[in-house]
Every structure is written in structure tokens, then in C-alpha cells.
A = this chain, B = another copy of it.
Amino acid sequence: MKVAEKHRAARQHILKAAWPLVGQRGFSAVGISQILEVAGIPKGSFYHYFESKEAFGEELLRIYVEEYVEKLDDILFKSEGNAADRIARYYRFWRDTQLDGQVGDKCLIVKLAAEVSDLSERMRSILEMGTATVIERLGKLIGTGQKEGSVGSPMEPDILAASVYQLWLGTTLMMKITHSSLPFDQAWLATKRLLEI
């Protein structure tokens, strides 16, 4: 294996190891030593793989967003049924990952948004691009749904998409507070009514 490849692989390994830790305790609260311990990599090596902890955080978010958008595209554009069906599938995916998923699978955006936005401008802007992408994809699908008739609401697709996404974000936050699935179920009823699906 080439050196550059090993280097890249080690980076990925550290990032993946950090994922569940950061997902549970946040970015600042998790120390580099803990991450490297879990990853099985000596502490002193960190700064050979990342320039700083912040650069590390940026990379973590970048990869998270990238993989998330990939999964999202699969659900929204490469699955069966009409637009309404696909949106429902996205909702179920979101709900399931929050309720049953492993700690490492839970939404890093919800976990980190409040913390990171006031901490690092660069990390904030990665989140900004990520959320904009998700809303854009969702808006596109909602537009399709309106044309084909599976989405009844006549509101601007972008507004609907942003609102639905924000509703789900807030719902996830609420679920962190209440440890209950009720917020999800209520949000879904509201989503259906809002989109008229």
C-alpha cells in the first residue's frame, strides 16, 4: 500500500472513530486523546493527519454532509413511487435513525449546529452548504410532486422544503429533550397536512 493511501486511510479511520464520540458528546467536549485512543492511534500522531482540531472538525462535517447527501439522493431520487411516497420514505429514514439508530448514526447537524455555529465560522459554513443542499433536493422533489399531483399544496416548493426540513430539525431536537417518539409522529401529521399529501 502506498504511503499516501495509508495516510488517507488513517485519516478516514480517525474520522470514523470520532463520529460516535462527537455525536454523543459534541465537538469541544471530546478530546483529541480520546478520539485517538478509540482509533488505536498514538496521540502524538494527530498533527500529522490534521492541521488542527478545527481542521479536523471541518473534515468531519464535510464527510458527514457528503455521505448524508448521497443517502438522501438514493432515497429521494432512486426509489419507487411518486414524490409523496419518496418524501414519506425520507421521513421514515429520518425517524428510524433517530429512534433506533446507533449513536454514531444520529444526525450530526442537529447535535453540532448550535455548538459549532458560534464556535467556528468555517464549520458553520459547511453546515450551511449541507443544509442548503438538502433543502434544494427536497424542493426539487416537492416541485415534481406538485406537477404530478401527489403534492397538493400550491406554496413555493422552496418554502415548503425549507419549512419541512426546519420542522424535522426541531423535531429531532425535541426528541433529544423528551426521549419520546411522539414529536416525530406529530410532525409527520403536520408535514402531511402542510404538503397536502
Contacts and interface: CB of A to CB of B under 8 A. Distances in A.
Interface of A: 24-26, 28-29, 110-115, 117-119, 124, 127-128, 131-132, 153, 155, 158-160, 162-163, 165-174, 176-179, 182-183, 186-187, 189-190, 193-194
Number of this chain's copies in the assembly equals 2
Contacts of A28: 26, 28-29
A181 to B, nearest CB: 12
A144 B172 CA distance: 28
A133 to B, nearest CB: 12
Given A24-B118, A131-B178, 5 more contacts: A113-B173, A113-B177, A132-B178, A163-B190, A165-B174
B193 A127 contact: no
A159 B114 contact: no
Contact of A177 (B127, B155, B187): B127
A124 to B, nearest CB: 6
Contact of A114 (B113, B118, B158, B178): B113
A176 B118 contact: yes
Report whether over half of chain A's contact residues are helix, strand or loop; otherwise say mixed. Answer: helix
Contacts of A25: 118-119
B114 A26 contact: yes
A112 B114 CA distance: 8
A171 B127 CA distance: 14
A8 B182 CA distance: 39
A187 B163 contact: yes
- Among A128, A166, A194, max chain B CB count under 10 A is at A166
A187 B190 CA distance: 13
A131 B170 contact: no
A101 to B, nearest CB: 14
